Amino acid sequence: MHWTNPASSTGWPAPRIPRSSWICWVPNRLPDRPSSSLVQEVNIMKTLHFGAGNIGRGFIGKLLADASHQVTFADVNETLIDQLNHRQEYKVHVVGADQKLDVVRNVAAVSSAGHEVIARIITADLVTTAVGPNILDKIASTLAKGLQARFDAGNLTPLNVIACENMVRGTSHLKQEVLKYLPVAYHATLDACIGFVDSAVDRIVPPAAANDDPLEVTVESFSEWIVDQTQFKGELPQVAGMEPTDNLMAFVERKLFTLNTGHIVTAYLGKLRGYRTIREAIEDPLIRSKVRRAMEESGAVLVQRYGFDPRLHAAYIEKILARFANPYLVDEIDRVGRQPLRKLAAGDRLVKPLLGTLEYGLPSDHLQEGIAAALHYRNADDPQAVELQQLLAELGPAQALARITGLAADSDIVSAIVTRYGNLK
């Protein structure tokens, strides 16, 4: 791929055009002369963010707005869309050792199911998502339609798409889904002009507490948004709080094996002991000890795999334990523990670090206990939790665990987990 500045083409006038307005060269196609609306110099970055929920507003949307991006949220919730468009701002409580109230201003919203979102994709400088892994596939067709319309409009300026989800290589997955809907004739243009940038995100954003302001959101002070700098097209966006790296998987697995593993073990052990919130559970000395040990076991895998400094990683574990105990966050166990089938999958927060311990011959007693506790998770309002208990009743723990995790039913590790499952009753 090559980048071409339209101002330097023979016979064209030479206005001052920032590199972000350059057009990408598509093989076997000479770029059309962009319309004046597409090449004029604009200082404000236009970002379309899919997902106007608490994470979208309190984390990604806030960072982008703080970086002076013009943020438009796309969502299916018409009431939320109307409220955002009416007020064009919302409050964010940042809680921790130092608390503050921020106001995010100059935002807009469109329906992700309507025509207006297509128009936003045509002119966007950046597209981000925070919709949840289960919804990511559902926005692929909309994104494909928008990108096709963008190319048809002659807009070949670089555009980057960043899925900010609790999902390993979520943006790469989204790209494959988009390609299913985008006509093959546009695939080369997409590969040349559209960057699909994987990321790792970390910020605890619990459901909003009941109050008179439906747009208000509470977030912890800690946040981490790491992006794969090798996947960008054109210039990297300048966003405070967005950290580029050329070794994303180390950070993806650090977060998955530490924050996500610790969070889910806290939730499932806490549920067994009758606690309602993560803070209540982690304040239990026995649970705190078990969660720390589980994160130490997964951390040993990271040290072996990526060469992390053991002392620095131990400090990272303690920071996460302190975050779980944040007295200003009311993070319910059922929010964290929901969708146990997804969280017990081979590539997720419990089984993936367990497989790492098997790979390197490391201990895994507390990871095994976390998985055993997950099998006990019950929540009548969660379809996956209901299905989990049905599988256990129909197949028994060994076969159910094998089906869910991909582990061999007759393996020593499954036998050990089943024994722990029985001991937790």
Residue list for the binding site for NAD(+):
47-58
CA distances 125 to 149, 234, 269, Å, are 15, 11, 44
CA distances 79 to 106, 208, 250, 321, Å, are 18, 16, 40, 37
Nearest to 358 by CA among 342, 346, 344: 346
> How far is the C-alpha of 234 from the C-alpha of 195, rounded, in Å?
9
Annotated binding-site ranges:
47-58
> How far is the C-alpha of 369 from the C-alpha of 418, rounded, in Å?
10
Q: Is 381 exposed, middle or buried (0-12, 13-18, 19+ CB in 10 A)?
A: exposed
Orientation angle between helical segments 116-123 and 140-152, nearest 10 degrees = 60
Nearest to 34 by CA among 67, 4, 79: 4
DSSP β-ladder status, 100-105 and 2-4: unpaired
Nearest to 348 by CA among 244, 222, 263: 263
Residue found under tokens 């950070």? 251
Beta carbons within 10 angstroms of residue 243's beta carbon: 14
**For the chain, how long is the longest CA-to-CA vector?**
79
> How far is the C-alpha of 351 from the C-alpha of 149, rounded, in Å?
41
